[in-house]
C-alpha cells in the first residue's frame, strides 16, 4: 500500500551499507580533526606567515640577481648536478632517501635525454630585410634634417642677439638704413612720380613737332570758329536774363541808393 512506512530495510548488501558521517569513532583516542576546524587552522597559519612588501621586494631582487648570474655564466647543462646537504629538521633516514631519489632522477634523465651536438654552433642572426633597411634609412634622414634645421635656427637667433659689453653706453638710438615694406613715405603728397610732375619739371616739357603750313591754317580756322561760336552763345544767353537775376542796388553809409550799373 502506498504511503505506508516499511517495517524493515531491503534484504541484501544494500541493507548493510551505513553512512559513516554521524557514526561514533572507532577509537576514542584517535579522533580526526573536523574539516572546518582544519580550514580555520590553515587560514590562521597563512595569516601568521604573511610576507610583507619589503620581503617580496627583497625576494624579487634576489631572483633577478640569480637570473643575471645565470645569463653571465652562459647556457647551463641539460641536467643539473644535485648538491646534497642535510637540513636541520631532516633525519638521517629521510636524508638518505632524498639522496637516493635525486640520484635515480638524474640517472633517468641521463638515459632519456635528447642526443646533443655541442659542436654545432648557434644559428646566425637573421639579417634585416631591404624594406626595413630603407625605412631605417629614411628615419635617420628625417632626424638628421630636423637637427640641421634646429642648428640653423639656433645660429640665426645668436646672430640677431646684440651683445652689450659691460659699461657700454648708447648716446642716441640706432639709425635704420633699410626701409620697411609698408613705408609711409610712399603715401605722402608729392612723393609719387606722376606724369604731370614730369611735365612741369624743367626740361620735362616735350617740344611740339613741326607741322606743315596747311595743317597750321586748318587749326587756326578751327580755333576761330570755336571762339565765334562761344561768343554767339554768350550773346544768346544775355538778353534772356530775368529781373530777379539782376544784381540789387547798393545802399551807401549816408543812406543814398546807388545803382549797380552807374559807374563813378
Domain ranges of the chain: 33-87
Classify residue 257 by its DSSP letter.
Answer: E
Q: Burial-class residue 106 by CB neighbours within 10 Å (0-12, 13-18, 19+).
A: middle
Sequence-separated (6 or more) residues with CB below 8 Å from residue 70: 76
Which residues does residue 258 pair with via DSSP β-bridges, in sequence order?
A: 250
Low-confidence ranges of the chain (pLDDT < 50): 1, 15, 242-244, 251-264
Question: What was the pLDDT predicted at 248?
Answer: 52
The continuous run of DSSP H or E covering 251 comes out as: strand 250-251
Question: What was the pLDDT predicted at 153?
Answer: 92
Question: What was the pLDDT predicted at 117?
Answer: 59
Which letter, b or e, does each residue of 234-255 get, where b requires 16 or more Cβ atoms within 10 Å of its Cβ? eeeeeeeeeeeeeeeeeeeeee
**Among candidates 239, 217, 220, 218, which has minimal Cα distance to 228?**
220
Round to whole Å and give the CA distance between 226 and 232: 10
Round to whole Å and give the CA distance between 94 and 101: 11
3-state secondary structure of 7: coil
Give the pTM.
Answer: 0.21
Question: What was the pLDDT predicted at 3?
Answer: 52
Positive or negative CA dihedral for 21, 26, 32, 37? positive
Sequence-separated (6 or more) residues with CB below 8 Å from residue 177: none
Amino acid at each position: 500500500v502506498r504511503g505506508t512506512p516499511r517495517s524493515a530495510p531491503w534484504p541484501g548488501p544494500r541493507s548493510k551499507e551505513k553512512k559513516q558521517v554521524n557514526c561514533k569513532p572507532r577509537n576514542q583516542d584517535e579522533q580526526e580533526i573536523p574539516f572546518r576546524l582544519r580550514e580555520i587552522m590553515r587560514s590562521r597559519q597563512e595569516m601568521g606567515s604573511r610576507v610583507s612588501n619589503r620581503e617580496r621586494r627583497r625576494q624579487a631582487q634576489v631572483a633577478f640577481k640569480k637570473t643575471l648570474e645565470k645569463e653571465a655564466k652562459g647556457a647551463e647543462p641539460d641536467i643539473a648536478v644535485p648538491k646534497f646537504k642535510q637540513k636541520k629538521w631532516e633525519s638521517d633516514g629521510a636524508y638518505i632517501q632524498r639522496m637516493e631519489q635525486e640520484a635515480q632522477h638524474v640517472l633517468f634523465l641521463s638515459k632519456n635525454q635528447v642526443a646533443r651536438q655541442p659542436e654545432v654552433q648557434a644559428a646566425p642572426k637573421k639579417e634585416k630585410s631591404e624594406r626595413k633597411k630603407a625605412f631605417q634609412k629614411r628615419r635617420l634622414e628625417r632626424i638628421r634634417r630636423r637637427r640641421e634645421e634646429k642648428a640653423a635656427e639656433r645660429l640665426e637667433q645668436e646672430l640677431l642677439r646684440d651683445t652689450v659689453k659691460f659699461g657700454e653706453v648708447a648716446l642716441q638710438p640706432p639709425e635704420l638704413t633699410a626701409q620697411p615694406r609698408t613705408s609711409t613715405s610712399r603715401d605722402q603728397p608729392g612723393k609719387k612720380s606722376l606724369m604731370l610732375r614730369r611735365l612741369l619739371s624743367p626740361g620735362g616739357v616735350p617740344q611740339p613737332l613741326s607741322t606743315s603750313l596747311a595743317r597750321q591754317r586748318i587749326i587756326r580756322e578751327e580755333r576761330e570758329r570755336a571762339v565765334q561760336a562761344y561768343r554767339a552763345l554768350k550773346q544768346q544767353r544775355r538778353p534772356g536774363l530775368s529781373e530777379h537775376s539782376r544784381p540789387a542796388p547798393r545802399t551807401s553809409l549816408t543812406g543814398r541808393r546807388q545803382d549797380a550799373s552807374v559807374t563813378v
